[in-house]
Structure formats: structure tokens, C-alpha cells
Amino acid sequence: MSTREDLIEAITHRVLAEIQSQCGPGECSECSGGCAASCSDKVRCMVSEGACRVSYQGNGADVPADLAAYIDHTKLGPETTSADIDRLCDEAKTFGFAAVCVNPVWVKQATSQLRGSGVAVASVVGFPLGANAPEVKAAEARRALRDGAREIDMVLNIGALKSGDHDLVERDIARVADACREVGAVCKVILETAVLSDEEKVIASRLAMSAKADYVKTSTGFGPGGATVFDVALMREAVGPVMGVKASGGIHTAEEVREMIAAGATRIGASAGVEIVGGSTSADKGGSSGRY
């Protein structure tokens, strides 16, 4: 491909064409890309990378314990209390989640609770709108990192992306990615896919890769929609096999997790992590669920 536009068009058309071509007559009544969630097994034929693809056998309720290693156990609602954070961290240690993801104000507490456990602390930057100035996002990231976070989930500048100001979008991401690299932390870039066109999703994914972020991520969980198998596959195709892809927003079951992993996700953001891995519900323990 000689230009970025050619590459974007080729990637978008390839994902759409491959998904649609795998659906036989009568298999899918709404095969226009968004239907990928209803025929997700077909997506597996298209996603060519291998290291991030995991298959499971049996009932979705009997998920292997190592599925937890893909999950960021999340509590980002405005009503979150100190007790909620303690509960979130206890659950993360019990079930072996990859990380807890909390708002910046709770990073110190989560870091203290999880010290020595092997569970990472993630925090959010420019959340949930992404409309902060790059220097503000970088400062917010550095503060969370000083408090102990070792993963940062930042929201890109959605308005700049839609305005075609790709230089600003890349610079915005790079400032946070640089702050993360200073301490060996992980930078994830939230695209908020529900408000983007397929072309914009590809552009955003490639700008994040160019800015040296470690992951692209589907959603904040506070937008008009969450993760879809199609978006995960599109993002995976855009960034290739090495960069991480995180699916987040509206993921509540083991089956949904398996579909996201099959499509190329290497990390899952979910507030329903305990239910997903087959433990007792958060409601039974006093409630740790929240929008995400």
C-alpha cells in the first residue's frame, strides 16, 4: 500500500469481507460487520495471529482458572468507596486477575493492598472523555505512576481524531506513553470504538502503535457501546500480532471473554470478573460491579 488511506481501506475491507464470506446462506441475518458477535467462530478463520488465540472446551460456566490472567478486574464508577477497593483487591488476589483498574484517587490504596501479590495496579488517564490537553494527561499519568500504578489506560483525543488532526492525536498518546516508559509501565490507549467509524478505528490503532503505546483498547465502558468481536478483530488486524489488544465494556460472561480472545484480544476489562471465572458473585460479597 502506497498511502495510509490505501492501507486503512484495505484493512477495513478485509475484515468485513472475511467475516461476511464465512457466513453461509441463512447463518446470519444481519451480516454487515456489526453481526460479528453472532457468528464469532467465523472471525477465528480470519485472525491470522496465533500467540494470543486461546480456545476452550466445555461449558462456558466451567472456565479454566487461567482465564483470569486475561482480566483487568475493574471498578471505575463515581460511587466507588474505600471498602469497594479493598474488596476489589481481595477478589483480584483470590482469583488471580492480571490487574485491578481503578480511578487515580484509589491507586495508593490498591497498591498497598496488592503489594507482593503479583496483581498489577492500573489506572485511567483523561477518563472518560479524552478531552484533556496532552500535558495534563502526561501529568496525570505521572502522578498515578508515582502512586504505584504500573499500567495506564488513557483515552485518546476523540475530537482531534474526528477533526483529522492526527498529529495531535499521536502527540497526545506519545506524551503518556513516554511517561510510562520512564518507569517501565504499560500504556493502553482507549479508542471508544462505539463513536468511531471503522476507518477511524484503524487510524487510531495505527497512531497508537506509532506513538509506541503497548495496547489499544476498545471502550471506556461509559460510552454508547462496549466491546464487540468485530472491533477487536479490526484492531488486531490494524496493529498486527505483537501489540496488545484490550476488549472492555459490557463483557459479563465467560463465553464473551472466549470470543474476544479468539478474535485477538490479549486482555479483558470487566467488572464482572468474579462471575466470569465461576466464583461467587460480587453481589454476594457486597457488590463490586460497576460500569466497564
User: Which residues are catalytically annotated?
Assistant: 153, 217, 246
Backbone angles phi, psi at 268, to 5 degrees: -120, 130
> Which cell goes with 102?
481503578
| Burial (Cβ within 10 Å: 0-12, 13-18, ≥19) of residue 76 | buried
Query: Bridge-partner residues for 99, per DSSP?
Result: 72, 120
The contacts of residue 185 (CB under 8 Å, 6+ apart) are: 145, 149, 150, 151, 152, 179
3-state secondary structure of 190: strand
Q: How far is CA 144 from CA 22, 122, 202, in A?
A: 45, 9, 29
**CA 49 to CA 7: how far, in whole Å?**
18
Please calculate the CA angle 166-170-173 and round it to the nearest 5 degrees: 140
